[in-house]
Structure 1
Amino acid sequence: MTIFLNVRLTIFRHFDFIWSVPIFDLCNEVTDKFSDMLPYKNLIVIDKKSNVAVYKQLALQFINLIQEGKLLPGAELPSTRTLANDLQLHRKTIMAAYNALVTEDWIDNLPRKGYAVSLRLPVVRPRSYNTNRLGAYKGISSFGFEKLETVIYPSVSLAHSRIVVNDGFPDISILPAEAIIKEYRNVLEYTTLNRIGTEWHAEGSPDFRKSLCTFLNQTRGMDIGMDNLLTSRGAQMAIYLAASLIIQPGDKVVVSDPSYLLASMLFERLGAELIRVPVDEEGMCTVPLEEILKNNDVRLLYVIPHHHHPTTVTLSVQRRNHLLQLIKAYDLAVIEDDYDYDFRYQYDPYLPLASGDHGGNIIYIGSLTKVLGTPFRLGYMIATQEFVQSAAKLRALIDLRGEVLMEQTVTGLIDSGELARHIKKANKLYAQRCDFLSDLINDELSDVVDFTKPTGGMALWLKFKPTFPLSKIVKKAGTMGLAFTGSVYNEDVNGRFNACRFGFASLQEEEMKEAIHILRKSADSLVK
């Protein structure tokens, strides 16, 4: 056996060796934890019909695992009893293989610890004897697939950014952390955990849906039951599910201009032809919408009436009434995206369209992500019972269980009143930040941007004047430590838009001051 293994080792000694102890030390932490979890039953194949003794086959295959990097220096090996049981071999056979490997310095027999791959192993060159197990993924796939190259948001490196302006996300530093931890602990108690782990509901946690229905009925003037509500991992999933059930290739879908980019991309992905309706200071223009409906077979309308994305404007009462009339007259399917309804800084009498008389044609989409923060992927869909059941079946194809633990946690926050208290606190803080930023921009950037202070939400829609191309300003600001990760609508060939969303809810006042100072300097650099 010694001669047999020496032949293998002699081959390797024709090549240069390099020692890399720091790398070994780094790898050992991971390897020690997971090497004993390797599926040896699948990695080691013994041919009992071979002329080579079984213990020699076993020893050679361990050498291969070491050479291929699956077993790194310091990795603990399974005990002889465990490996014998896994491979259905006699324990003496395993001991013979280990002893041979010890003799050739491939492994060490450590007192009171068992066997481990030797730390004295060299890293062998050429690479053909040290195959990287991930090497197969470093090239290009040989099969064909659709390459999605559309840029959703500008790619911005945050490595040198001191301030990040997002699309309008909440400040997670004000979350009621202790209350969340308390509710999460309650969920992890055996009785609750066992129940939610055993049950399965395609529409989402019954406890969560029941509590959420009560919350929505009280805050949005709705009259819904659990059968009308489906939970999802954020509003984006809910939009996807609803649109997938409605749109067929070639269907016409009406969206605003501009509109929420990800929704428009989704509709086009499903094969829809988009018809765009302009937006002004009163929201989506319903008169041209009516003309479109008269002259086209429209399958779906996507509307964001409360705080339109990206412009933040609110649909006026007159247009809301007109839109509801059109929905009923043309029996129109509607997705109402109400992503941040809970944040209103002035008296706002507007209820969702879904709370009006629409004959069940409106699918209402909302999100608690905008309340709790981006780490909490909790969205929901409200529709007729029949539609919800179909959406639940579709969701099961990509997401069987949903955020069960977090749904139960938020159920406790709703039932205890903690969620309502948090929304009230956040509203007060965000209103102050909205006022502060608006005043700051009026003082420092009035010659650069135009904007209308919104009545709610978490972002301003800044329209840069034609002499200040947004693409150049964002690029220049990036060199000074200010990054934009939200919706940036650069000027097109017609000079339209040249605008961006400036999320303020998650920024401190000092951060807003610095951000505006950098924008001022960036703008000034363009006119020098």
Structure 2
Amino acid sequence: MLPFPSLLIIDRTSSTALYLQVSKQIIALIRKGILKPGMRLPSTRELAQSLMLHRKTVVAAYNDMLLQGWATTVPKKGVFVSPVLPELNPKIWEQNLKKVPDSNTTPFFYRNSFSVITDLGSDVAGYDIVIDDGLPDSRIAPLDLLAREYRARLRRNLQLKGRTDSLSVGSILLREALTDYLFETRGIRASVHNLLTTQGAQMGVYIAAQLLLRAGDAVIVGEPNYFMANNAFSYQNARIFRVPVDEHGLDMNKVEEICLRERINMLYVIPHHHHPTTVTLSPQRRMQLIALAQRFNFMIVEDDYDYDFHYQSSPFLPLVSYCPERVIYIGSFTKCLASSVRIGFMVAPQEMINEAAYVRRMINLRGDFIMEDALASLIREGDVARHIKKSVNIYRERRDYVCALMKERLFAFSSFEIPTGGMAVWLRFSEAYPLIHVAAELAKHRILISDGRKYNTGPFNYNAIRFGFASLNTRELSRVIELLTAVLSKEVNGRSNA
């Protein structure tokens, strides 16, 4: 057995969770070839004792590796390094391109969409803290329960047995669980025939765009709007009409003005905690929107990605619960569990679900039906509902904590409204403090924060970010605000000295 106590260095002063320190370092050993594919890892009890950690910490680390594909379990034998690792050695494209004569062009044709892809993500390696735009804290999620249910199904050696076509709409167990869950929590009356599972809400948005939009078709969105939704619509060569978003949500008078002069195919709306501004669509405007959809004959795509997280009042019922024939409803479990759990769902009329299943089948033939079955079990047993209830209390405390810090220390540099729900604060900075400079300075302190450009559209430069608070504990939030204050104060002092 390798000397794991000397190979794995645990830093109890680090802001990185202990289980992540363990999993990341073991993955690094696998990448370096020190741990070979198929090699048995120490038992959770052995590794916990040797590192002087709680056994649950090691269990969480192994579960993280299992979900990422770096490890696998063998019944009655233990945990092993996966025989098929999730990474391939990348080709060095620059070197390969040098072998091609300058007079030659690329020997294939593809669609160049860089003009609409505004953000391809950042490499988080090398950063101690990442300020996301509103993700859950996987450290408090019941991933051990989910992994247990997943392993149990793997041990049964389940086979597809001709389920290929039926799985194109998703696991029947999950869709059955969702029919009860959505009615009890959101008042949505849907049968399994009205449900399609997806790998997250973004897949649902993409499928909806494929169903409803062709080149030249018109879609209405908010301004500002979720940039990845804008990308999906632009990729369809749709004409995008932008409507202002104020403290009550989309301006319905502007929507009506556009409908009077244009044939609208679709309107995209985030009714709870609009992305990026976090505002909620008021009840009056919800009713106006439904009336406009019926009057002008367009479909509403309702992206309710974090419906469950409200801190001051109960959520409003989704639009689909009032007008199911006019709404494609999109939801996700990613926000209530972990960003790595890519399971979402779509609710729509049966004819649309049949077409959506055809589109889904072209990009993802079956999906991970074993994981979907595992999640269905957690929903049935009430584990998901209990976790959401606990999370709401934790995230409310973190919201209150970070907003108090922002009000105390950032009032001279920025402005914000305390969100009534969700996992982020829409933090707008004064023009005197360009985020592109602020982000660069924070990176020197190993803190990754958006430079805000992905939220800008056309002439609009918001100089703002969605400051995700849910995934960070109070110690991490304190450190970020402290360093952010220092960076902004340095900018002030630099101008004063100049």
**Normalized against structure 2, the TM-score is what?**
0.76
Distance 1:134 1:295, change over 3 A: closer
Give the Cα separation in 2 of the matches to 1:486 and 1:503: 14
Describe the superposition over 1:28-72 as per-residue Cα deviations: whole angstroms up to 9, x where unpaired: 997999xxxxxxxxxxxxxxxxxxxxxxxxxxxxxxxxxxxxxxx
Distance 1:390 1:491, change over 3 A: closer
**Contact 2:217 2:238 survives alignment (8 Å):** yes
Gaps of at least 5 residues in structure 1 are: 1-25, 34-131
Residue 96 of structure 2 is matched in structure 1 by 139
Give the counterpart of 2:347 among 375, 382, 387: 382
Distance 1:281 1:31, change over 3 A: closer
**Contact 1:334 1:363 survives alignment (8 Å):** yes
1:482 aligns with 2:454: no
Give the Cα separation in 2 of the matches to 1:383 and 1:396: 17
1:216 aligns with 2:173: no
Give 1:135 deviation, angstroms.
Answer: 8.0
Describe the superposition over 1:107-138 as per-residue Cα deviations: whole angstroms up to 9, x where unpaired: xxxxxxxxxxxxxxxxxxxxxxxxx9968994
Give 1:162 deviation, angstroms.
Answer: 2.2
Give the Cα separation in 1 of the matches to 2:155 and 2:249: 48
Describe the superposition over 1:329-379 as per-residue Cα deviations: whole angstroms up to 9, x where unpaired: 1111111100000111121241111111x2511100111111111111101
Q: Which runs of 4+ in 1 moved over 6 A?
A: 26-33, 132-137, 490-493
Q: Which has the larger radius of gyration?
A: 1
Describe the superposition over 1:77-106 as per-residue Cα deviations: whole angstroms up to 9, x where unpaired: xxxxxxxxxxxxxxxxxxxxxxxxxxxxxx
Give 1:182 deviation, angstroms.
Answer: 2.8
**Contact 2:307 2:315 survives alignment (8 Å):** no
Give the Cα separation in 2 of the matches to 1:159 and 1:381: 33
Letter in 2 for 1:199: R
Letter in 2 for 1:279: V
Give the counterpart of 1:175 among 136, 141, 152: 141
Equivalenced residue count is 402
Give the counterpart of 2:394 among 429, 435, 450: 429
Give the counterpart of 1:199 among 155, 160, 163: 163
Residue 229 of structure 2 is matched in structure 1 by 263
Q: Aligned ranges for residues 44-55 of structure 1 at < 5 Å?
A: none
Give the Cα separation in 2 of the matches to 1:328 and 1:142: 49
3-state SS of 2:362 partner:
coil
Residue 429 of structure 2 is matched in structure 1 by 464
Give 1:467 deviation, angstroms.
Answer: 2.0
Give 1:480 deviation, angstroms.
Answer: 2.3
Q: Aligned ranges for residues 153-192 of structure 1 at < 5 Å?
A: 153=119, 156=122, 158-190=124-156
**Normalized against structure 1, the TM-score is what?**
0.71
Give the Cα separation in 2 of the matches to 1:206 and 1:251: 34
Give 1:152 deviation, angstroms.
Answer: 3.1
Give the Cα separation in 1 of the matches to 2:135 and 2:341: 12
Give the Cα separation in 2 of the matches to 1:378 and 1:199: 19
Give 1:500 deviation, angstroms.
Answer: 0.5
3-state SS of 1:325 partner:
helix
Distance 1:483 1:389, change over 3 A: same
Give the counterpart of 2:406 among 421, 425, 441: 441
Give the Cα separation in 2 of the matches to 1:138 and 1:389: 46
Give the counterpart of 1:453 among 418, 434, 438: 418
Letter in 1 for 2:215: P
Give 1:407 deviation, angstroms.
Answer: 0.2
Residue 377 of structure 2 is matched in structure 1 by 412
Distance 1:273 1:219, change over 3 A: same
Q: Which moved more, 1:180-189 or 1:301-310?
A: 180-189
Describe the superposition over 1:360-419 as per-residue Cα deviations: whole angstroms up to 9, x where unpaired: 111001111111111111011100000000110111111111121110100110111111
Letter in 2 for 1:145: Y
Q: Aligned ranges for residues 338-377 of structure 1 at < 5 Å?
A: 338-356=304-322, 358=323, 360-377=325-342
Give the counterpart of 1:311 among 277, 281, 288: 277
Residue 397 of structure 1 is matched in structure 2 by 362
Percent identity of the aligned residues? Answer: 38
Give the Cα separation in 2 of the matches to 1:234 and 1:484: 23
Give 1:197 deviation, angstroms.
Answer: 5.4
3-state SS of 1:370 partner:
coil
Residue 36 of structure 1 is matched in structure 2 by none
**Contact 1:459 1:501 survives alignment (8 Å):** yes
Give 1:477 deviation, angstroms.
Answer: 1.7
Q: CA RMSD in A?
A: 2.6
Letter in 1 for 2:302: E
3-state SS of 2:336 partner:
helix
**Contact 2:427 2:467 survives alignment (8 Å):** yes
3-state SS of 1:346 partner:
coil
1:247 aligns with 2:213: yes
Give the counterpart of 2:303 among 316, 324, 337: 337
Give the Cα separation in 1 of the matches to 2:242 and 2:424: 23
Residue 12 of structure 1 is matched in structure 2 by none
**Contact 2:142 2:337 survives alignment (8 Å):** no
Residue 95 of structure 1 is matched in structure 2 by none
